[in-house]
Amino acid sequence: MRLSAPIAALLAALSLWPALPARAAPVAYALQAESSTVGFETDFGPDHITGTMPIKSARLLIDFDKLSNCTIDVALDVAHATASFPFAAQAMKGPKVLDAAAFPEMTFRSGTIARAGDGATVDGMLTLRGVTRPVRLAASIYRQQGSATGDLSHLTVLLTGRVNRSDYGATGWADMVGDEVRLTITARIARAD
């Protein structure tokens, strides 16, 4: 999934990791699921297959003073994933790829979160098709459009990364569909006070 130019420009202009004030402890945030997306893209010959996967649940704790205290715990709804054309969605959820009937949920649990330039790296464990493997995501955090300077009640977290589907046994149609899956996760969150 690609971000539209206005959203990408807004995100680039509002980067917060280096500028946020210190907080005394981790703060709980609730996901605004209706305005959050988990997007993916993979190669399909010379073209691309894109799609989204709904978020079932998310638990987020953010400590702006000490990123190592942050936690991200997310569950995705594999059975309701969509793709850029119907055949791809059906094949993706079938037994040769995600096997949504046997594994209706995909989970990510963060391990280590550390600063990296203007953002952060999030190392964690992704479980897909019953297989758990380490994955690294790049993260940025922003104030949402219209927020006053210093208002951290509503934030947008952008996570990007890539995984090889074959690492999880999702090997169907390898002769037609690329192994690498590129992820773009946009999570809009609100302070859970």
Which residues contact residue 109 at a Cβ distance below 8 angstroms, ignoring those fewer than 6 apart? 72, 73, 74, 124, 125
Residue-wise pLDDT tens digits, 135-182: 999 999 999 888 898 899 999 999 999 999 999 999 999 999 999 999
* pLDDT at residue 11 in the model: 39
SS3 175: coil
Alpha-helical runs (H) found in the chain: 5-13, 86-93
Residues 5-191: name the CATH superfamily: Lipid/polyisoprenoid-binding, YceI-like (2.40.128.110)
Alpha-carbon span 40 to 57, nearest angstrom:
18
Question: Which of 148, 167, 145 lies closest to 156, judged by CA?
Answer: 145
**Cβ-Cβ contacts under 8 Å for 139 (sequence gap 6 or more):** 113, 119, 120, 121, 122, 157, 158, 159
- Structure letter (DSSP) for residue 15: B
pLDDT at 86: 86
pLDDT per residue over 28-80, tens digit each?
Answer: 999 999 999 999 999 999 999 999 999 999 999 999 889 999 999 999 999 99
- pTM here is 0.85
Choose among 140, 142, 151: nearest CA to 118.
Answer: 140
What pLDDT is recorded for position 37? 93
pLDDT at 115 over 80: yes
Q: Residue 193, class by beta-carbon neighbours within 10 Å (0-12 exposed, 13-18 middle, 19+ buried)?
A: exposed
Q: Which residue has the higher pLDDT, 6 or 113?
A: 113
pLDDT at 156: 94
Residue 25: per-residue pLDDT = 85
**Residue 6 scores a pLDDT above 80:** no
